[in-house]
Amino acid sequence: MSDPSRNNFELPPEQRLIRDERFHPPGSFVEFSRDEIEQSIPDRFEKIVNQHAGRLALKMKDRALTYEKLNQAANRIARAILEKRGAESEPIALLFDHGVDVIMAILGVLKAGKFYVVLDASFPPQRLGFELNDSQAGLIVTNARNLHCALTLSDDIRHVLNIDEIGESTYAHNLGLVLPPQSLASLIYTSGSTGAPKGVMREHLTELCQERLTTQEVPIGPTDRLSLIHPLAFATGNYCLLKSLLNGASLFPFDLKSEGIASLAQWLRAEMITVLHLAPAVFRQLAELLSDREELPALRLIRLSGSGITKEDFNLYKNVFSQSVALEIAMGSSEAGTISRVIVDHSFSFPADGLPVGYAARGNEICLINDDGRAVRPGDVGEIAIKSRYLHSGYWRKPELTRAKFIQVSNASAERTYLTGDLGKMLPDGLLIHMGRKDSQIKIRGYRVEVSEIERILLGHPGLKEVAVIARDREQGEKYLVAFVVQRENQAPGLNEVRNFLRKRLPEYMIPSTFVFLDALPLMSSGKVDRRALPDAGNQRPELDTPFVGPRNSIEKVLTEIWAATLGLNGVGIHDNFFDLGGHSLTATRIISRVVHAFRFDIPVKLLFESPTIAEMAAIITQKQAHKASDADLARVLAELEAMSGD
């Protein structure tokens, strides 16, 4: 391609071969035609119902609905909503656990000509209250299980509809409402991992356009059985929902929070899942459970999105899953849908630098721009910008932010450009490499640091399976890096080993000052790491390979107090290595300055690098004090001799 910083849909030959030869299940795929998008989502869904009325649409545990039964349940809910709220378009809040009820309610809201806001019942009350107030929803639709919470959230100013009270006598035929394709279908709130959650306005037309394009790239048909593990409060859950129910496939919700990762493999086998969609953090845990090469004979495709996958993730895929199972690596957002994707098999050559997120998805042009909005030079890193006519319309009740992030290409074009806030670079063949977030760049001691690069290097250690690196503030506003790591059970590395691993690969200022070892990283419902829930690193001495030994004399006691105060630790052992305690060049200067003040003679900073323990430093100070005493004695003798000669 002439300019790898820009990319239209143009797959390399090997990618076209994988897509064309391996992802058209015989006799099961019917193309999503262009004339299917100038309508509403209920129109498309009702067409699928007519074609596949008796086919399985939804199943969770022992509860299963055919397309006909699902359609009837949605029609009843739609009529109950219209009875309470009338026919005007408005936001309707849905409060449910993960499962069948929330899907029936989503379809009911759409059939009533309104747009939905899914409130995940597992969210804390503060988050639920924020989304409810921000969306201005006047009705909460829920079930008996969540009725008490819904009534509490309603605050006596909103209506509440309990779908368990809708009788079978309610008319279950299609409503026949004519809905403009440009109408809003949903508000999907962003995760809030990079700021306050924002409601993204998503229209029927745009959803159907994106669904058509993605279905042509990764064909889904009635014989497919798709997982729904992501909550429907997030864009990825909605992707799975529409991908399945608008193509006649069967959808299988699985509640990871209540069922746990240990039962996931058995569930995949029992339900004969063909397309599995996971966040990379969940995939790593599943791959470990399947490490003895348990077969999942029905599985044909694994889709990973939500965060970048590493070389180690790809090796897990190759080691655990057979060649017949392909891997789809994708990047998307609530605002732009699927941005890029690549479907690979065991032969894929994983890039040496960065995290691959695919080639531009159909209908998208990917541009890499600098801070001035100009295209970067080929091979350079820039902000990922998406030019497309299929972007969602913007942020709910945030016109200024919408104008800043969604830029109209021209008055004569329906295309707009969305600024993702992600950084990337393009390989010569058009493969996009994710290089982190603009807002995750921080300054440590004057150096600009990208924490995602540190995380990527850490995940290169074979003994670590999950990592998260964040910046926190010391007193006086100085930032320092904290790494939270999860070790593999059979090859858990110690702190010294991890630090030495990083020292060979990163400059000193990029090595975290503090390491916290956890059993698991806290995850949001979307599968992303919940960085706000990471624990306080505390000020305890880290778990070093060196046994703790306290001070043995007054010099070591003074040094211990200086080191502990400067490093922000409660305790320091005399044999602890300065750098293993999180020390760096700046703290070295501070320690030496305080040591000089305490002992009243000069010590070079390089001493701490050459003798990085309290015991070694104390020995040198003892030696210097002895020399100082000898020099004082000599000066006294010379003074006495001089006085005697004067006599």
Where residue 413 falls among pLDDT bands split at 50, 70, 90? confident
Choices 3.10.310.30, 1.10.1200.10, 3.40.640.10, 3.30.200.20: CATH for 554-630: 1.10.1200.10
**Nearest CA-CA partner of 580 in 543, 552, 548, 539:** 543
The three-state secondary structure class of 424 is strand
Distance in angstroms (rounded) separating the CA atoms of residues 499 and 353 = 21
| Lowest-confidence region among 81-85, 145-149, 294-298 | 294-298
210 or 625, greater pLDDT: 210
Task: Please report where in the chains the tokens 């694994």 appear, as a residue.
Answer: 302
86 has pLDDT over 80: yes
Contact 65, 99 (CB under 8 A): no
The three-state secondary structure class of 138 is coil
| Lowest-confidence region among 52-66, 367-381, 398-412, 582-596 | 582-596
| CATH fold for the domain made of 61-180 | Rossmann fold (3.40.50)
Question: At 237, which amino acid appears?
Answer: G
**Nearest CA-CA partner of 340 in 427, 238, 453, 221:** 427
| Lowest-confidence region among 86-95, 145-154, 359-368, 473-482 | 473-482
List the structure tokens of 213: 């394009």
Where residue 114 falls among pLDDT bands split at 50, 70, 90? very high
Task: Please report where in the chains the tokens 């022992």 appear, as a residue.
Answer: 62
- CB atoms near residue 291 (< 10 Å): 11
Return the bridge partners of 486, or none: 466, 518
Give pLDDT tens digits for 401-410. Answer: 999 999 988 7
Distance in angstroms (rounded) separating the CA atoms of residues 5 and 186 = 33
Strands annotated E in 440-599: 441-444, 447-450, 464-473, 479-487, 514-518
List the structure tokens of 233: 């409060």
**Nearest CA-CA partner of 277 in 229, 213, 315, 222:** 229
Burial-class residue 14 by CB neighbours within 10 Å (0-12, 13-18, 19+): middle
Rg (CA), the chain: 30
381 has pLDDT over 60: yes
**Nearest CA-CA partner of 161 in 130, 138, 128, 133:** 138
Cα distances (Å, whole numbers) of residue 67 to 56, 61, 70:
6, 17, 5
* Backbone φ and ψ of 142, nearest 5°: -150, -170
The three-state secondary structure class of 627 is helix
Residues in the chain: 647
341 has pLDDT over 90: yes
Return the bridge partners of 227, or none: 252
What is the residue-wise DSSP string for 103-127?
A: HHHHHHHHHTT-EEEEEETTS-HHH
358 has pLDDT over 50: yes
List the structure tokens of 472: 């926190």
Contact 13, 340 (CB under 8 A): no
299 or 452, greater pLDDT: 299
**Nearest CA-CA partner of 192 in 439, 432, 465:** 439
**Domain 445-533 carries which CATH code?**
3.30.300.30
Where residue 179 falls among pLDDT bands split at 50, 70, 90? very high
Give me the helix-helix angle, 147-154 and 125-135, nearest 10°.
60
Nearest-5° angle of CA 339, CA 344, CA 347?
150
614 or 12, greater pLDDT: 614
Task: Please report where in the chains the tokens 């909460």 appear, as a residue.
Answer: 140
Give pLDDT tens digits for 496-548. Answer: 888 889 888 887 778 888 888 888 888 877 677 888 888 887 777 777 778 88
**Nearest CA-CA partner of 452 in 348, 310, 304, 584:** 310
The DSSP code for 553 is S
As a whole number, the mean pLDDT across the chain is 86
Per-residue pLDDT at 2: 39
16 has pLDDT over 90: no
For range 406-435, the mean pLDDT = 89
The domains of the chain are located at 61-180, 445-533, 554-630
Return the bridge partners of 301, or none: 275, 326
Distance in angstroms (rounded) separating the CA atoms of residues 393 and 409 = 14
1 has pLDDT over 50: no
Per-residue pLDDT at 24: 57
- CB atoms near residue 485 (< 10 Å): 25
Distance in angstroms (rounded) separating the CA atoms of residues 114 and 183 = 8
Per-residue pLDDT at 52: 96
The three-state secondary structure class of 361 is coil
Contact 533, 520 (CB under 8 A): no
Contact 574, 550 (CB under 8 A): yes
